[in-house]
Amino acid sequence: MLSTVSGVAALGMSAIVVGAAVMMLTSRNVVHAAFWMLGSMLGTAGVYLLLSATFVALVQVMVYAGAVAVLLLFVIMLTLRRREDAVRSRDFSAVALALAVLFGGVMLYVLWGLHVPAAPMPAIVPGIEEFGLLLFSTWMLPFEIASLVLTVALVGAVWWSGGRRGR
């Protein structure tokens, strides 16, 4: 297998990811912005497929495009009193733009001189089976800690958002 990825597909997927992200930041309607974020997440899943990370792409679609998008839309709907509140005035901050451009410039400059030796892909691409075997052997302890983190986060979210009347 080669140590490169098809350029046309990669360019198309990147265009979807970056374009949807730009549309999310420029759209004035919060609900539209949530849907553009969903598009960006789906494009990212395509990028993962190009990088032959099947399981990560599946998790991306399920967690980000599924759960996080629904959660975001729920909170948007719960915190809008009227339909007109969804349309917001344009937030523009020159300082934020300057900081982001500076940061991006530094990163791309560093990237310019970067040379990482790329290892070629093995003939048989490791798939979900190898991923699962490794996850439940090498990565056993982090997996358990991750489940604990999710449980604590779930309980905390219910505790914070649940109405405690009378206080």
Partner 1 sequence: MRVGMEFFIGLSAILFCLGLYGALSKRSAVMILMSLELMANAVNINLVAFSRFVTPKVMTGQFFAVFMMVVAAAEIGLGLALVLALYRQTQTIEVQFLNELKG
Residues 91-120 that bind partner 1 (CB under 8 A): 91-93, 95-97, 99-101, 103-104, 107-108, 111, 114, 116-120
* CA-based torsion, 104, 106, 107, 110: positive or negative: positive
Nearest distance from C-beta of residue 112 to partner 1, angstroms: 9
Nearest distance from C-beta of residue 19 to partner 1, angstroms: 10
Among 87, 136, 144, 150, binds partner 1 (CB under 8 A): 150
Nearest distance from C-beta of residue 14 to partner 1, angstroms: 5
Among 122, 129, 137, 166, binds partner 1 (CB under 8 A): 122
Candidates 161, 139, 157; CA nearest to 149 is 157
Give the whole-angstrom CA distance, residue 47 versus residue 15.
11
Nearest distance from C-beta of residue 83 to partner 1, angstroms: 16
Q: Is 78 helix (H, G, I), strand (E, B) or coil?
A: helix
Which is nearer to partner 1, 83 or 108 (by Cβ)?
A: 108
Interaction with partner 1 in 123-142: which residues (CB under 8 A)? 125-126, 130-131, 134-135, 139, 142
For residue 77, state whether it binds partner 1 (rule: CB under 8 A).
no
Contact map string, positions 34 to 73, toward partner 1, x by CB under 8 A = x--x--xx--x--xx--xxx-xx--xx--xx--xx--xx-
Q: How far is CA 58 from the centre of its chain?
A: 12
Interacting residues of 128 by C-beta distance below 8 A, sequence separation 6+ = 54, 55
Q: Report how many residues bind partner 1 under the rule CB under 8 A.
A: 86
Asked if 50 and 6 touch (Cβ cutoff 8 Å), the reply is: yes
Candidates 114, 116, 118; CA nearest to 1 is 118
Give the whole-angstrom CA distance, residue 127 versus residue 167.
53
